[in-house]
Structure 1
Amino acid sequence: MAVFFRFLTLLALATLLATPLAGCDRTATPSFKAIDITGAEYAQGFDLPDASGQRRTLADFKGKVTLVFFGFTHCPDVCPTTLLEIAEVKKALGADGERVQGVFVTVDPERDTPEVLKAYVDNFGAGFVALRGTMEETAAVAKAFKVYYAKVPGQAPGSYTMDHTAGAYVFDANGKVRLFTRYGTGAEALKHDLQILLAQSPPEPRRPTAR
């Protein structure tokens, strides 16, 4: 019995000594709220025109944490809620919010003209870019991102809506896909994850201007 109690004492002591060491482990992997897909072989990038006709790729946003969301402007709930959430988080991050980029890829190029897209994303403030490809380009980039979308007939003749994957891909400042955040995760969880990614790639110090 004495040996047993001595074993418990040593075990408790070992646990006590190990606890502060674990708390000081600076190599621990950060805990994300969203789904960590670091190293995924899909969602590697895009090459689509923006509302002005300029083709855009992830390289255009190097140095920023970029969120890519597929949706459409006639979306009644998921799309505006997601973009508003991103806008709120950008604002909550203060100066760091300038290093967060939102990218909205339409899955409804038939109705989402460049003019319509620009007016739509402008509603959510600065820091958003809308992309619109051809029907073929849209299908290709959706496949590359494993995004589902489909046209759903409406009640009125000739009307329709779109069904699509509800969530955003998050890329770090080096253009590597890191997370998939599902619709409904919440602004606080998104802010938490973006802060981790922003901290991993601090902004370069400004060089003094020559006089």
Structure 2
Amino acid sequence: MIRKLSLILVLALASCGPKLASKQDVSIAGMVPRLTLSMQDATTGQAISAADLRGKVTLLYFGYTNCPDVCPNTLYNVDQILKLLGPAAQQVQFLFVTVDPDRDNLAVLKQYTALFGPEFIGLRGTPNQLAQLARRYRVVFSVTHHPYTVTHSAGIFVFDPQGKPQFVISGLDGLKPDLTGIAQDIGHLVKTDDPT
């Protein structure tokens, strides 16, 4: 009974949001806070905050570089989505927040995200920064050292150029994700200079 009520509530909330092209995208507009973070950018070594990210659509993802399947499949599919966006992809940035900062130092993160393209930015925070960010967006993760095991949520949070939450993309680690529909949903958020 509780499962049915939870499902009904989720579907009702999702139906209140904007119409999205992909069934893999679930509206979170008004349900989670604006984009706020403070972490170290693996590309530059400098601190990065939400203010530095304004003006572009931001995709926020939590993962780790030693992930055997979910993370590389997800990032590969995001790269394919960006290719579908064409020149508009220059207005999109993908933030890869490591949930395993003990192993994912800045050099490792920089090398890993560079495999996917310049739009991919590796972020590393202190344990406190990571915990705060995960709590803010209700992301679940755990790291066990003996044996080495990492688990994490696999959704991608999508924020508009002003940092407002729009939707979560799920299932990009699967076999047949709706890349075209997801690209359309992201494309609607991209600012363009074209007045039409």
Which residue of the partner structure matches residue 170 of structure 2? 182
* Residues in 2 aligned to 1:78 and 1:89: alpha-carbon distance in whole angstroms: 16
Q: Which segments of structure 1 move beyond 6 Å, counting only runs of 4 or more?
A: none
- Aligned position for 1:40: 31
Q: In the TM superposition, what whole-angstrom CA distance separates every residue of 1:56-104 from its partner, at most 9, and x where no partner exists?
A: 1222222211100000001011111111111111112111111111110
Q: Is the counterpart of residue 31 in structure 1 residue 23 in structure 2? A: no
Quote how far apart the aligned CAs of 1:204 are.
7.7
**More deviation in 46-55 or 126-135?**
46-55
Q: Is the 8 A contact 2:63 2:98 kept in 1?
A: yes
1:202 to 188, 192, 195: 192
CA distance in 1, matches of 2:85, 2:109: 26
Q: TM-score, normalised on structure 1? A: 0.75
Aligned to 2:112: 120
1:79 alignment counterpart: 71
Matched, 1:169 2:157: yes
SS in 2 for 1:93: helix
For structure 1, which runs of at least 5 residues remain unmatched after alignment? 1-28, 206-211
Instruction: Quote the sequence identity (%).
Output: 37
Q: Among 120, 140, 146, which residue is 2:138 paired with?
A: 146
CA contact (8 A) 1:38 1:178 kept: yes
1:7-44 Cα distance to aligned partner (Å, 9 max, x none):
xxxxxxxxxxxxxxxxxxxxxx5434211011124363
Counterpart residue type for residue 84 of structure 2: A
Helix, strand or coil: the match of 2:143? Answer: strand
Which residue of the partner structure matches residue 16 of structure 1?
Answer: none
CA distance in 1 between counterparts of 2:181 and 2:194 reads 26
Number of aligned residue pairs: 172
Higher relative contact order (CA 8 A, sep 6+): 2
Instruction: Please show how residues 40-79 of structure 1 align to structure 2 within 5 Å.
Output: 40-42=31-33, 44-51=35-42, 52-79=44-71
| 1:21 paired residue number | none
